């Protein structure tokens, strides 16, 4: 299978890009597999202009017709899953089975927003003025802009595309230059399904240059970003000058709290393998393991055994359970975390080093007795490294869990209903999973609190993020 030809999509036309470009590297073998063209400043202006015209057309298209286009695109993507998943694995590294699951999820998201767009209801409000008619109506926000990270090349992209399109908005999307093929495949499917020109525009470039250009314009009325906390803060500042609405889906540092009344083997089966999904490069990845002292050794031993059994390799090879990290820079980060934790007294019980010297592979790693002072207990690892620490009381573990500025996901394992209820109430997080880690679905709100960002993707809240509220009052008609 050949890798996708990467082009820019501007006003319904696929372009080679006038702004230079960069190689795309397969992280499993460091081979160059393609080239991401960059948009020139003139092309970015063209995308802004096109998105204005695209918005006018799309907002005037009845939601039932928008849904039909989105459904058709879903079917086109479904028929092409094997090819797209293969390319996704080549550019990003995750096992091809995971890539297929990701695409299935993204297609669900597309269908869900297409349907939900038909239900962007307003309401009639009883008037004070006799005979008046008072209406609250929901209308699309306008042209939207979105910047997304590389870790979920399908889902990160689709949450923006489907949310905007379902609500009747147009979109300028900048996917990751490192993982562009999936976004391009989504763009081609949308076009084939009959999406009018200019409704979806896809550009690539030097991220800082593109985001300054697009956000510097008054045209986009919304910014939706998925990525790291520092970049999110930076983009929000850029958006402030023209007062764009923002949705910020940023990083996290998810505590996993394992109480001694839980079934440890079940907890390990549930959260242990989840840690190494996408090589830990997931914003809701479990990243700080707090285990009650009575079951601490049992948990560490079981986790260590499971980590050692994970089959690491090229995601295209049969049986691979964990692929490489996205790039060499992430290997350096893992090395730094492990060395620092060791220096501060932690013991590495599984992994702890790079694998081989070709491809960006890092061993599934478990570290026990990791003290709070170790950097990995407060900085997001975003890799396959799991620090474990023992705790004594519920109050202590709540304080530790809530002790960082992040607040995305939290996980609790207990068989005690009262504890589950207390933790659900007390944890400072946008998502809480009790006895299972599945906190993200198309129909449920997904998002963080505090420095993990704000605004939701998914659920009716996700559609609402692309809608604005208008009040209309009439008399004498």
Query: Active-site positions?
Result: 249, 283
Binding to ligand NAD by residue 446, rule CB under 6 A? no
Structure tokens at 303: 């986790």
Query: Of residues 227, 351, 364, 458, which one binds ligand NAD by CB under 6 A?
Result: 227
Min dist. Cβ of residue 448 to ligand NAD (A): 9
Min dist. Cβ of residue 329 to ligand NAD (A): 6
**Rounded-to-integer distance, Cα 243 and Cα 360, Å:** 40
User: Of 128, 90, 111, which Cα lies nearest the Cα of 2?
Assistant: 90
Q: Which window, 64-72, 231-239, 292-300, 396-404, contacts ligand NAD (CB under 6 A)?
A: 231-239
**Rounded-to-integer distance, Cα 297 and Cα 258, Å:** 12
Q: Which is nearer to ligand NAD, 147 or 259 (CB)?
A: 147
Binding to ligand NAD by residue 299, rule CB under 6 A? no
Binding to ligand NAD by residue 382, rule CB under 6 A? yes
**Rounded-to-integer distance, Cα 216 and Cα 214, Å:** 5
Positions in 391-410 near ligand NAD (CB under 6 A): none
Tokens 């790291």 correspond to 228
Binding to ligand NAD by residue 250, rule CB under 6 A? yes
Query: Of residues 74, 158, 195, 231, which one binds ligand NAD by CB under 6 A?
Result: 231
Binding to ligand NAD by residue 51, rule CB under 6 A? no
Q: Which window, 6-14, 106-114, 159-167, 245-253, contacts ligand NAD (CB under 6 A)?
A: 245-253
Beta bridge partner(s), residue 13: 10
Query: Of residues 7, 314, 380, 451, which one binds ligand NAD by CB under 6 A?
Result: 380
User: Of 146, 151, 158, 57, which Cα lies nearest the Cα of 106?
Assistant: 158
Alpha helices in 386-458 (DSSP H): 394-401, 417-426
Binding to ligand NAD by residue 207, rule CB under 6 A? yes
In 304-408, the DSSP E strands lie at 347-350, 354-355, 361-362, 365-368, 385-391
Binding to ligand NAD by residue 102, rule CB under 6 A? no
Q: Let me know: does 186 contact 85? Beta carbons within 8 Å.
A: no
Instruction: Name residues whose C-beta falls within 8 Å of residue 192's C-beta, 6 or more positions apart in sequence.
Output: 72, 73, 76
Q: Which is nearer to ligand NAD, 211 or 224 (CB)?
A: 211
Binding to ligand NAD by residue 176, rule CB under 6 A? yes
Q: Which is nearer to ligand NAD, 220 or 251 (CB)?
A: 251
Min dist. Cβ of residue 408 to ligand NAD (A): 8
Per-residue binder mask for ligand NAD (CB under 6 A), 142-171, x = binder: -----x-xxx--------------------
Min dist. Cβ of residue 258 to ligand NAD (A): 24
**Rounded-to-integer distance, Cα 153 and Cα 171, Å:** 17
User: Of 239, 228, 11, 250, which Cα lies nearest the Cα of 145?
Assistant: 239
245: phi then psi, degrees, rounded to nearest 5: -70, 145
What is the binding site for ligand NAD (CB under 6 A)?
Answer: 147, 149-151, 176, 207-208, 211, 226-228, 231, 234-235, 249-251, 283, 329, 380, 382
């Amino acid at each position: 299978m050949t890798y996708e030809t990467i082009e820019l999509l501007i006003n319904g036309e696929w372009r080679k890009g006038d702004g230079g470009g960069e190689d795309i590297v397969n992280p499993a073998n460091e081979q160059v597999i393609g080239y991401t063209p960059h948009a020139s400043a003139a092309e970015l202006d063209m995308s802004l202009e096109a998105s204005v015209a695209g918005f006018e057309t799309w907002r005037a298209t009845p939601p039932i017709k928008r849904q039909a286009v989105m459904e058709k695109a879903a079917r086109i993507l479904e028929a092409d899953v094997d090819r797209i998943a293969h390319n996704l694995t080549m550019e990003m590294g995750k096992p091809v089975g995971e890539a297929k699951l990701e695409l299935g999820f993204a297609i669900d998201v597309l269908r869900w927003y297409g349907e939900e767009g038909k239900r962007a209801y307003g309401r009639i409000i009883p008037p004070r003025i006799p005979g008046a008619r008072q209406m609250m109506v929901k209308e699309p926000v306008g042209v939207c802009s979105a910047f997304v990270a590389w870790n979920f090349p399908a889902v990160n992209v689709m949450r923006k595309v489907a949310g905007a399109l379902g609500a009747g908005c147009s979109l300028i999307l900048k996917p990751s230059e490192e993982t562009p093929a999936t976004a391009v495949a989504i763009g081609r499917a949308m076009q084939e399904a009959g999406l009018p020109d200019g409704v979806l525009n896809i550009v690539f470039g030097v991220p800082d240059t593109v985001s300054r250009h697009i956000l510097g314009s008054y045209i986009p009325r919304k910014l939706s970003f998925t990525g790291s906390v520092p970049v999110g803060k930076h983009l929000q500042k850029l958006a402030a000058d023209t007062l764009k609405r923002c949705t910020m889906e940023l990083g996290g540092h998810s505590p996993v709290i394992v109480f001694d009344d839980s079934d440890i083997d079940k907890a390990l089966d549930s959260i242990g393998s989840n840690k190494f999904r996408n090589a830990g490069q997931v914003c809701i990845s479990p990243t700080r393991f707090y285990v009650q002292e009575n079951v601490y050794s049992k948990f560490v031993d079981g986790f260590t055994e499971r980590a050692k059994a994970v089959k690491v390799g090229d995601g295209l090879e049969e049986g691979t359970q964990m692929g490489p990290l996205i790039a060499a820079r992430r290997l350096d980060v893992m090395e730094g975390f492990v060395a620092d934790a060791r220096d501060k007294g932690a013991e590495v019980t599984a992994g702890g080093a790079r694998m081989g010297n070709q491809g960006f592979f890092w061993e599934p790693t478990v570290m026990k007795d990791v003290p709070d002072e170790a950097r990995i207990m407060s900085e997001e690892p975003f890799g396959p490294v799991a620090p474990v620490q023992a705790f004594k009381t519920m109050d202590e573990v709540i304080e530790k869990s809530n002790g960082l500025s992040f607040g995305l996901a939290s996980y609790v394992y207990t068989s005690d209903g009262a504890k589950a209820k207390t933790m659900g109430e007390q944890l400072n997080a946008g998502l809480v999973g009790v006895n299972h880690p599945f906190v993200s679905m198309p129909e449920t709100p997904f998002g963080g609190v505090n420095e993990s960002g704000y605004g939701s993707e998914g659920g009716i809240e996700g559609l609402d993020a692309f809608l604005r509220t208008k009040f209309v009052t009439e008399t004498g008609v």
